Structure 1
Amino acid sequence: MDPQIVTITFFRYAGARQQWWGFKQMGLAPRALAKVPGLTFFKMLGSGNGNGFSIWPNFGVYGLLSVWNNESSAQLFFEQSPLFQDFRAQSTEIATIYLKTAKVHGTWDGRTPFIENVAFQTEAPLAVLTRATIRSKYLWHFWRFVPGVSKAMWREHQEGLIFSIGIGEAPLVQQATFSLWKNSQLMQNYAYKGKFHSTVVKKTRELGWYKEELFARFHPFRVEGTWQGKSLEKVLFPALNEEIGTF
């Protein structure tokens, strides 16, 4: 049996009509997605404005995180699903990243949707997904502190970071980040040695911001589409030598 795979798709919408259509799918699409064969877990995701991690939404960019029984089920959906064809028709740009899970801990809505099924490789391209539900009493502290750290990461031009985006299911409360890195070592240099990220980790432990959290690392193995007019396939494979910036 083919192993589980994960996909994350980003949609860009231009113009008020298309953006309104994209916004409505946050509520409408899950009903159709629940009936898709082979799709075991999914989340429609909004995005933040500015550098991508903000209390202000970006109505021009949305995401779809999907967990599939196998790659064949995913491909059938992307090629033949009427729902996805509607997304394709309404969007000005689409990018889909195919992933295999290397490491994961924590839960999402009380579940662990990702199955570790590929060896972790320190030199391979890496995708990182973090997701948390923020405790209501700490919302003010979280949003006062974290966006500045996210901006600082890009001001410092963190080595190895290809792009990152702040995404979420519900405004302010349920938040996630998705990032792509040239390799694991460069990501770890940032996560464990960088002053900005280490400060966030320290604050999280001190204040107990989250009532649920999940952290996952994936290895991308396939990319379809473009982002900001650039081929993500060329960015990620075989040599990561071009940065495409934030969303």
Structure 2
Amino acid sequence: MSQVTTITFFKYHTLRNKIWAFGMMQFAHVALSEVKGLQDYKLMGSGKDGFNPFADWSVYVLLQIWENEEEANVFFEESELMKRYLKKATERCSLFLKNIKAKGEWSGINPFVKSDSITENNPYIAVITRATIKLSLLYKFWKYVPTSQKSLENNKGLMFTKGIGEVPFLQMATFSIWKDKESLMQFAYGSKEHVQAIEKTKKLNWYSEELFSRFQPYKSIGTWEAMGELPF
């Protein structure tokens, strides 16, 4: 079986559980480093809606890259760490992803391997973009974000999106789910605002590191109100 990526969203309501979740950004590393079949992982927080760089203290994310789906299933079904997360969280959704294409680097490497089992009759596309922004360009970058993301408002092809990342303001990422490749391409190259953002990125060179990766989402565990009823 080929490499599989999972991304899990956790939501917390009480202040006590939010503090616990924030602490796990540090304390979960020991347990995760011992998980069988886990090739790489990222513990991330999230930003407020609309790609606001300020933290959303109620939502945290665990991105994991597995040798195969079997190892991922064992973790979600049997892991004591996952049981601890689920006990504290009020919402949880884990999405299983097969990599279609990945370009760039994340922490010095490209961790995603192209899957050899993409399904032709599954049109859905998930996208992860990740970048480290140069300190000298932080203000210019975040000032421009609302303009570059304007075409996402009421976009019928977009099923879900959330700003995530390891370090607020500096190391940012986005995760999105699209109805099909055509919807994604229309946003990426048919949106005036996004095309201008691409041109501005090339001109200003405001990333010290960046990665863009497309996936085929094919399985989900749990629910997430903002995602609605997922078709996979």
Q: 2:105 aligns with which of 93, 104, 107?
A: 107
Question: 2:226, 2:131 → 1: CA distance?
Answer: 31
User: 1:208-219, aligned counterparts within 5 Å?
Assistant: 208-219=205-216
Q: Which residue of 1 aligns with 2:163?
A: 166
Q: Which residue of 2 aligns with 1:236?
A: 231
Q: Which residue of 2 aligns with 1:69?
A: 67
CA change 1:185–1:74 in 2 (3 A) is same
CA drift at 1:223: 0.8
Letter in 1 for 2:67: N
Question: 2:65, 2:212 → 1: CA distance?
Answer: 15
CA drift at 1:45: 0.8
TM-score (norm 1): 0.89
CA drift at 1:111: 0.9
Runs of 5+ consecutive residues of structure 1 not aligned to the other structure: 238-247
CA drift at 1:159: 2.6
CA change 1:48–1:208 in 2 (3 A) is same
What is the total number of aligned residue pairs between the two structures?
A: 231
Deviations 1:64-85 (A, max 9, x none): 0000001111011111111110
Letter in 1 for 2:221: E
CA drift at 1:30: 1.6
Runs of 5+ consecutive residues of structure 2 not aligned to the other structure: none
CA change 1:10–1:74 in 2 (3 A) is same
Determine if contact 1:122/1:184 at 8 Å carries over to the other structure. no
Determine if contact 1:10/1:96 at 8 Å carries over to the other structure. yes
Determine if contact 1:122/1:183 at 8 Å carries over to the other structure. no
CA drift at 1:90: 0.3
Question: 1:54, 1:30 → 2: CA distance?
Answer: 27
CA change 1:81–1:181 in 2 (3 A) is same
CA drift at 1:121: 5.3
User: 1:21-60, aligned counterparts within 5 Å?
Assistant: 21-51=20-50, 53-60=51-58
Determine if contact 2:10/2:89 at 8 Å carries over to the other structure. yes
Name the SS for the 2:26 alignment partner: helix
Q: Which residue of 1 aligns with 2:84?
A: 86
Determine if contact 1:4/1:69 at 8 Å carries over to the other structure. yes
Letter in 1 for 2:22: F
User: 1:161-240, aligned counterparts within 5 Å?
Assistant: 161-228=158-225, 234-237=229-232
Q: Does 1:145 align with 2:144?
A: yes
Determine if contact 2:41/2:63 at 8 Å carries over to the other structure. yes
CA drift at 1:203: 1.0
CA change 1:123–1:197 in 2 (3 A) is farther
